[in-house]
Amino acid sequence: MKDKFFLDTNIILYQFSNDIQKKNRAIDILDEATNSNKYTISYQVIQEFSNVALNKNKGYFSIKELKKYIEDILIPLCKFFPDPSFYIDSLKVKEKYKFSYYDSLIINAALKLKCSKLYSEDLQANQKIENLEIINPFR
């Protein structure tokens, strides 16, 4: 089985980092993601990214620029949209693995999409959750 990767919001945000090493790694991941079918995100990643990207202190995008980025980059990567049971299942992930609810939503989306890898800097690297391995791609 080929690996399928889920990208957490922070991976996408690092393309704007002042840390050149992390910035370059994030750009490489996004370049590969947009040129293959191996990578995916969820609606939540779009929401979180948009919130930070429009933050007046960050100033990553204007509304017009963000609209284009969402249409060209994020929507094609987005393969998960929840049904009502998703939220209950995410509570089960939270209860079993002790993650925050928002992290549980990300993890559950990756599980529902049958991803084998979850790229995140915020979660505990090398942890296995069912068939999903959390990887910090910046290490």
* pLDDT greater than 90 at residue 127: no
Q: For 44-93, what is each residue's pLDDT tens digit? A: 999 999 999 998 887 789 999 999 999 999 999 999 999 999 999 999 99
Give CA–CA dist 116/131, Å, rounded.
Answer: 6
Q: How large is the average pLDDT for residues 21-40?
A: 96
Cα atoms in the Cβ-side hemisphere of radius 13 Å centred on 135: 17
Answer with the residue of higher pLDDT: 55 or 42: 42
Mean residue pLDDT across the chain: 94
What is the structure's pLDDT at 60? 86
pLDDT in tens, 11-24: 999 999 999 999 99
Query: Does pLDDT of 137 surpass 90?
Result: yes
CB 25 within 8 A of CB 123: no
Is the distance from CB of 110 to CB of 5 less than 8 angstroms?
no
pLDDT at 1 over 70: no
Set out the domains of the chain in order of their start, with CATH numbers.
5-135 (3.40.50.1010)
Helix (H) or strand (E) holding 74: none
